[in-house]
Structure 1
Amino acid sequence: MGRINRTKLLDRQHDRRDAKLFIVATEGKETEKQYFGMFHSTRIKVEVLATGDDGKSAPQYVLERLNTFKEQYDLNKDDMLWLVLDVDRWGEKNLSMVCSQARQKDYYLAVSNPCFEIWLCLHFEDLNSEDKTCQDFKSRLRTLLGSYNSSNLDLSLYKPNIADATNRAKLLHPKSQHNWPPTLGTHVYRLVEILLQSLSN
């Protein structure tokens, strides 16, 4: 059986046939899917492969989802495949192996240490030295925003501050060539910068 044409992923009413596809496999179930949905336009389509109800969120399962998708669809050379992962629960050996396999397949990495919420916090302020864990960053978001629900993001709060988040994330690791930030930080800005660039082209 042949592979599915990439145009099946596009909304024929809104998307151009030459729209660039970003396939983003995420560890999270809802938060990342909502966030990256902000960038959808006629120029780009962000297809988020989130963790399903089976709860298979470990890095190797996220990688498997991306592999399966790539095998099923006939993608263009300009389409990009990304892994959005967290450091927090997984051993460095496990994460390192998955990152290595991803790079061999020319996938891109956007890893957060400890979790995606650190990227969300950076939309509003520099990191607080007291915050270390994923729970700390969720609590920080509640303090900053008055409330925080990972399954119901108010995207209007984040959208105006994307450039600030990017600048803050870069300052934390200005020359980092690592697969993930070795200290608190996030490489999600790598994906976001390319999304914004593609929107403006």
Structure 2
Amino acid sequence: MSPQTSKSTKISTETSLKGGKKGFKKERSTFLILCEGKTEKDYFAGMRSRRGPQIDVDVPKGDHLAKVREAVDRASNDYDTVWCVLDTELDGRLTAEMTREAEKSSRVRLGLSTPCFELWLILHHADWARPFQSADAAKKELKKIKPSWSEKNTRFSDFSAGVDAACDRAKKLNPDGGNSLKNPSTSVWELVTGIRESGPSAAKSKILDT
């Protein structure tokens, strides 16, 4: 998927200290997600909610490695976690280089899909395990399954009902998560699970040290 320049998409959220018993604080997780293209950006922007975690989504300029390096540069106390959602392109050397770059910061995580992010979308609607010869082949299959989908028109609402199924199917494809190049496979479920577990239904009160 070709990199695209995009302004950061943000949800404005603040930690609330109002209400509740003294000594308790409602905390919201913060995510920065750097994506490869518009499809990924639109999907994650659609996961934002007023009461959910803070989600900032961006599509930086440059190739895969440039995006990971930017993630390392932008990792700071402003975000709990910075994710790069990228395709492996079935390229072992590229995947190894991305992994080495990400390891330079403990706050940076990779959400890698083989061959591409469209596999993650397919898993919302189908239990898919057959290898793809290319990213284009995965996109064509997604179009068959979801005719209304296009790279310029990805709506989270078209996939939201299948998130649980997609997570379960992704975990089955690569149970130990040790092989990012397994075809097909995706670790995007880890990011999606993290976002959902940070939502209002999973919010937890934390006793502040006094």
Instruction: Determine if the TM-score, normalized by the shorter chain, exceeds 0.5.
Output: yes
What's the TM-score once normalised by structure 1's chain length?
0.80
Overall identity of the aligned pairs, in %: 24
2:30 matches 1:21 = yes
- Secondary structure, counterpart of 2:111 in structure 1: strand
2:54 equivalent to 1:51: no
Q: With the length of structure 2 as denominator, give the TM-score of the two structures.
A: 0.77
Contact 2:89 2:116 in 1 (8 A): yes
- Aligned equivalents of 2:100 and 2:131: distance in 1? 32
Q: 2:44: which partner in 1?
A: 36
Deviation at 1:128, TM superposition (A): 5.8
Q: Write 1 or 2 for the structure with the bigger share of helix.
A: 1
Could you tell me which amino acid in structure 1 is paired with residue 122 of structure 2?
Answer: C
Shift of 1:165: 0.5
Q: Is the 8 A contact 1:25 1:83 kept in 2?
A: yes
Contact 2:46-2:157 at 8 Å conserved across structures: no
Aligned pairs for 1:133-148 (under 5 A) are 133-148=134-149
Q: CA deviation at 1:130?
A: 6.8
Question: Which amino acid in 1 is paired with 2:73?
Answer: T
Q: Contact 1:141–1:147 at 8 Å: present in 2 too?
A: no
Q: Is the CA contact 2:125–2:162 (under 8 Å) kept in the aligned structure 1?
A: yes
Q: Aligned letter for 1:62?
A: K
Whole-angstrom distance in 2 between the partners of 1:136 and 1:186:
16
Partner of 1:105: 105
Per-residue deviation, residues 156-185 of structure 1 (Å, max 9, x unmatched): 22001000000000011112234x242211
Aligned-partner Cα distance in 2 for 1:188–1:120: 10
CA distance in 2, matches of 1:112, 1:130: 12
Corresponding residue for 1:86?
A: 87
| Cα offset, 1:60, TM superposition | 1.2
3-state SS, counterpart of residue 24 of structure 1: strand
Aligned to 2:3: none
Q: Which residue of 2 aligns with 1:75?
A: 78
- Describe the shift of the 1:169–1:128 C-alpha distance in structure 2 as closer, same or farther (beyond 3 A): closer
Confirm or deny: 8 A CA contact 2:131 2:183 kept in the other structure. Answer: no
Q: Deviations over 1:131-171 (max 9, x none)?
A: 43211111112111223211211322200100000000001
1:104-142 residue CA offsets vs partner (Å, 9 max, x unmatched): 311111100000000000000011637432111111121
Structure-2 separation of matches of 1:10 and 1:125: 31
Q: Deviations over 1:17-42 (max 9, x none)?
A: 353210111222x1111111122123
SS at 2:133 equivalent: coil
* 1:98 positional shift: 2.1
8 A Cα contact 1:122 1:164, kept in partner: yes
SS in structure 2 of the partner of residue 120 of structure 1: helix
